[in-house]
């Protein structure tokens, strides 16, 4: 059974200033999601599930139908698509939503929206991040190896120096793992950058100290590998989260929180997978020119055709 690619595309793009999920960035008008799907199909994925918001669902469906109607997998089968929506009121029975809350419930809540359309190993990515073809190959290999498995998940870790920004400091979750390559926890570091003395440093969110980091340390860019049992386990963790936070206006249910809870309560283990790919993305409008230039360079080098489809 081919794995599924789950694309988190429900972000409103408030910091970006527009709907970046459909912003044309490639030489022939390709979006970042287009490149992710291209790499995923070549790696062996057979289905794409989009998590979007109700207000742009129909426009998104129409754009996808026009672009991917003739895309097929290497074995000739048509690439399948599903669409699900994430909204604030999609919470378990027994909880009453704070009427003043406007902020979404977070990435782990978004993933739960796909529980009825995924029955095979799947990989979660951000719709506005470029992960590179090696990352999708590594993730697909993990999924094929864990078909029919349960309680073991995976995170694709990127070397920090492959994720830095030319515009300044960034926040990165540094993966801590044991000798067997199993994740222990992800520790958030802020203002990660190479300082004037040539040393890579970041602010450890746990200790509050500015610490030296290694360029080859692995960090999370929100690329996760799961088996279908993750949905049931995550739903249980979400209930616990809501018991503590249902009246909060800003707290979110993130994937690292859910996985960390499972690890520390003996519910699951998580493999740390290393990728050599270089990450880039568009968080702010100012990031756009650099991303456009990177895609043009990749096309010039022959990594991608233009147009993709």
In this structure, the strands spanning 218-226 and 152-159 are antiparallel
* End-to-end CA separation in angstroms for the chain: 25
In degrees and rounded to multiples of 5, residue 251 shows phi and psi of -65, 140
pLDDT confidence of 17, banded at 50, 70, 90?
very low
Every domain of the chain and the residues it spans = 4-300
pTM for the structure as a whole: 0.94
Q: Which H or E run contains 171?
A: strand 170-177
**pLDDT tens, position by position, 123-162:** 999 998 999 999 999 999 999 999 999 999 999 999 999 9
Looking at residue 66, its pLDDT comes to 82
**97 three-state secondary structure:** coil
Which sign, positive or negative, has the C-alpha torsion 280, 284, 289, 292? positive
Looking at residue 215, its pLDDT comes to 95
What architecture (CATH level 2) is domain 4-300? Alpha-Beta Complex (3.90)
More confident residue, 11 or 20: 11
Weakest-pLDDT range from 110-114, 168-172, 216-220:
168-172
Looking at residue 59, its pLDDT comes to 82
Q: Is the pLDDT of residue 283 over 90?
A: no
């Amino acid at each position: 059974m081919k794995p599924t690619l789950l694309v988190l595309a429900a972000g409103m793009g408030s910091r970006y200033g527009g709907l970046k999920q459909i912003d044309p960035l490639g030489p022939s008008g390709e979006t970042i999601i287009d490149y992710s799907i291209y790499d995923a199909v070549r790696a062996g994925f057979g289905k794409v599930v989009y998590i979007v918001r109700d207000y742009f669902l129909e426009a998104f469906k129409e754009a996808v139908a026009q672009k991917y109607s003739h895309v097929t997998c290497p074995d000739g089968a048509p690439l399948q698509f599903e669409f699900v929506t994430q909204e604030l009121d999609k919470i378990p029975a027994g909880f009453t939503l704070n009427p003043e809350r406007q902020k979404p419930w977070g990435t782990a809540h978004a993933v739960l929206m796909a529980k009825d359309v995924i029955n095979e190993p799947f990989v979660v990515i951000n719709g506005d991040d470029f992960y590179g073809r090696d990352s999708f190959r590594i993730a697909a290999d993990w999924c094929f190896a864990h078909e029919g498995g349960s309680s073991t998940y995976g995170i694709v870790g990127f070397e920090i120096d492959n994720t830095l920004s030319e515009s300044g400091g960034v926040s990165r979750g540094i993966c801590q793992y044991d000798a067997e390559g199993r994740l222990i926890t992800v520790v958030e570091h802020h203002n990660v950058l190479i300082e004037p003395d040539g040393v890579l440093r970041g602010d450890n969110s746990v200790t509050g100290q500015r610490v030296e980091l290694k360029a080859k340390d692995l960090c999370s860019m929100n690329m996760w590998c799961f088996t279908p049992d993750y949905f049931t386990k995550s739903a249980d963790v979400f209930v616990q989260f809501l018991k503590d936070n249902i009246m909060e206006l800003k707290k979110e249910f993130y994937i690292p929180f859910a996985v960390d809870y499972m690890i520390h309560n003996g519910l699951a283990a998580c493999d740390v997978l290393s990728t050599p790919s270089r990450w880039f993305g568009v968080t702010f409008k100012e990031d756009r020119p650099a991303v456009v230039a990177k895609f043009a360079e990749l096309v010039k080098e022959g990594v991608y055709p233009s147009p993709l489809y």
